[in-house]
Amino acid sequence: MNKKVILVGHFGVGKTSLVQQFVYSKFSEKYLTTIGVKIDKKVVEFDGYQMTLLIWDIAGETEQNSVSKSYKLGSHGIIYVFDLTRPSTYENLDKQLDYLKTLLPNAPIQILGNKKDLISEEELNSIKESIPLSFKATSAKTGEHVEEAFIDLAKAML
């Protein structure tokens, strides 16, 4: 079973680092901006199923509608990433998600608040209170909840 997953969100939120952590179990402090799109592949196994994820890591933009929609078309699942340390990356989350839901009505969305390793539990709780949507707090650096996030999305795409 093959599925196309796209990673979207503002630039510098850690989309590429999440993919690197998930696919290669690696993390680098260096920031290299993604140009266009980068594609990776990983086979995941869960509950007796085997699924090949083709992960399209799409270059970040502040507004989703300014990214080429052609890269997103045909996706089976979406991972929307924001940066827990930069409120500007989750301020208009509703609007961004509405756009994606309209474009890909059947694709489940997994929302990730990345860079958990850089904030305290109190700060995380306060962010959770300020965002009305449920999200998973991840750290591409330590790998916390990264694999879990992709597997949860894979299950939702079944």
Partner 1 sequence: MSKGLAFDKLREILLEKDWEEREEFAQKLSDLDDQLNSRNRLEEKIQPILDDERESLRHRFPDLFGPQITETISKQIRESQDEVVEALYPILGRMIKKYITSEIEKLSEKVDEQMKLAFSWEAWKIRIKAWFTGTPQKNMIISKLIEPKIEEIFIVEKQSGMLMGSFSKNHSVDQEMIAAMLTAIKTFVEDAFKSETQELDSIDYDNYKIVIKNFKSFFIAVVTSGGMSMAFRDKLDDTLLDFAEKVLRKAKDADEEVKQERITSGLEQYFDNFDKNE
Where on the chain is the footprint of partner 1 (CB under 8 A)?
1-2, 4, 36-37, 39, 41, 52, 54, 56, 68, 70-71, 73-76
Nearer to partner 1, 70 or 134 (CB): 70
Nearer to partner 1, 54 or 124 (CB): 54
Nearer to partner 1, 52 or 125 (CB): 52
Smallest separation, CB 41 to partner 1 (Å): 6
Buried b (16+ CB within 10 A) or exposed e, 105-139: eebbbbbbbbbbeebeeeeeeebeeebeeebbbbb
Smallest separation, CB 67 to partner 1 (Å): 10
Smallest separation, CB 15 to partner 1 (Å): 16
Rounded Cα distance, 140 and 14, in Å: 7
Rounded Cα distance, 115 and 84, in Å: 6
Nearer to partner 1, 4 or 116 (CB): 4
Rounded Cα distance, 3 and 30, in Å: 29
Phi, psi of 112 (to 5 degrees): -120, 130
CA distances from 28 to 11, 18, 140, 150, 155 (A): 16, 11, 9, 20, 28
Contact between residue 16 and residue 57 where contact means Cβ atoms under 8 Å apart: yes
Eight-state DSSP code of residue 58: E
Smallest separation, CB 97 to partner 1 (Å): 21
Smallest separation, CB 144 to partner 1 (Å): 28
Nearer to partner 1, 56 or 135 (CB): 56
